[in-house]
Amino acid sequence: MTDAAPARSLTLQAPAKINLFLHVVGRRADGYHLLQSVFQLIDLADTLHFDLRTDGQIVLAEPLPGVAPEDDLCIRAARLLERAANRPLTGVTIRVEKRIPMGGGLGGGSSDAATTLLALNHLWQLGFKRAQLAELGLQLGADVPFFIGGGNAWVEGIGEQLTPLQLPRRRFLVVHPGVGVATPAVFKAPDLTRTTPSVIISDFVRAASASELFGRNDLQPVAERLEPAVKFAAQALPGSRMSGSGACVFAAFDCEAAANAALQGLRERNALPAQARMWVVSSLDQYPAAALA
Ligand code: C5P
């Protein structure tokens, strides 16, 4: 009996995250910021298709609007892995069905990059361990190691120090105000608070069972100043908070009915501009592609 032929194609969901809180506790000499955050996976996901080729080319089937193929994080992840492998490979065609809004603070690009590293490590049979892929991923974005880590986490450093965390099952209403926010502009702002005192994980865990959100997002006042539509969305959704560097804001609910009622309320009050988008999503415990490494 012979072994089954190695897989030649894979289709994977690449889910988004929200930051339940995000504190800026310092700054490194290279300008990157030291954070404390809890990253929560949610079931709003891009779908990624990988098909091995025979000509060694790395091809993006359909470029995303406004993103040159060479800048696409899936292509950059594939090339990075190819360089790390340091041997001739078969190539791949990658097709992305995009659902996670870009410039939304939901980590869509980083999740696509993480799933690409995990999928191609498997399809190309490279045998890199998860920790090695996370190290490569950090070159593509500070959020990539979190997705490769595979589950919800307490996150420190610039995003690469991960402590696994069990989080309660919840629903979230996520609102995208219809405009994106550029992450570098938020982090560069002179008025960004960079000295929030460090907290310890048990402070968060104690508060996590309460209905109110723990801490705050230090990036939110800056994003709201740069893009007033973010402030408008945050004010329209009671108890909400911004995710990442924006532009999305979210509120947490114990059940789907309550989240749907909040969404209906926003619609009926005509509280948001026409270009705003909304999703009721569920918390996720595991990152699908992480099972491959
Ligand atoms: O790594 P990522 O692409 O998410 O970051 C985009 C920009 O945000 C970086 O170039 C950097 O200016 C800023 N950033 C930061 N500190 C972090 C993460 C990002 O200053 N921890």
Shared-domain flag, residues 34 and 154 = yes
Shared-domain flag, residues 88 and 127 = yes
Q: Does ligand 1 come within 6 angstroms of the Cβ of 245?
A: no
Of the three residues 142, 165, 188, the one that is the final residue of a domain is 165
Shared-domain flag, residues 111 and 140 = yes
* Locus of tokens 């059940």: 255
Q: Do the beta carbons of residue 114 and residue 121 sit within 8 Å?
A: no
293 occurs within a structural domain:
no
User: In the chain, what's the furthest Cα-to-Cα distance?
Assistant: 67
Shared-domain flag, residues 39 and 79 = yes
1 occurs within a structural domain:
no
pLDDT digits (tens, 9 = 90+) for 202-237: 999 888 766 678 999 999 999 999 999 999 999 999
Q: Does the active-site annotation cover 17?
A: yes
Measured by CA distance, the residue closest to atom 3 of ligand 1 is: 141
Shared-domain flag, residues 188 and 132 = no
Shared-domain flag, residues 90 and 228 = no
The verdict on whether residue 101 carries a ligand-binding annotation is yes
The segments of the chain whose pLDDT lies below 50 read 1
The one catalytic residue among 17, 46, 72, 218: 17
Shared-domain flag, residues 161 and 269 = no
- Specify the number of domains making up the chain: 2
Distance from C-alpha of 108 to C-alpha of 279, rounded to nearest angstrom: 15
288 occurs within a structural domain:
no
Q: How far is the CA of 73 from the centre of ligand 1 (A)?
A: 15
Q: Does ligand 1 come within 6 angstroms of the Cβ of 30?
A: no
Q: Do the beta carbons of residue 236 and residue 272 sit within 8 Å?
A: yes
Of the three residues 165, 182, 215, the one that is the final residue of a domain is 165
Shared-domain flag, residues 159 and 15 = yes
Shared-domain flag, residues 149 and 249 = no
Q: Quick one: pLDDT at residue 213?
A: 87
261 occurs within a structural domain:
yes
Q: Quick one: pLDDT at residue 209?
A: 66
The verdict on whether residue 242 carries a ligand-binding annotation is no
pLDDT digits (tens, 9 = 90+) for 75-85: 999 999 999 99
Contacts of 221 (CB under 8 A, 6+ apart): 191, 193
289 occurs within a structural domain:
no
Of the three residues 115, 140, 165, the one that is the final residue of a domain is 165
Pocket test for ligand 1, best of 144, 187, 192, 219 (most atoms within 8 A of CB): 187
Q: Quick one: pLDDT at residue 286?
A: 98
The one catalytic residue among 46, 72, 112, 143: 143
Measured by CA distance, the residue closest to atom 20 of ligand 1 is: 32
Shared-domain flag, residues 160 and 115 = yes
Shared-domain flag, residues 178 and 158 = no
C-alpha distances in angstroms, 269 versus 75, 179, 265?
42, 20, 6
Closest ligand 1 atom to Cα of 141:
1
Q: Which domain holds residue 252?
A: 171-282
Neighbours of 15 (CB within 10 A): 25
290 occurs within a structural domain:
no
Shared-domain flag, residues 82 and 18 = yes
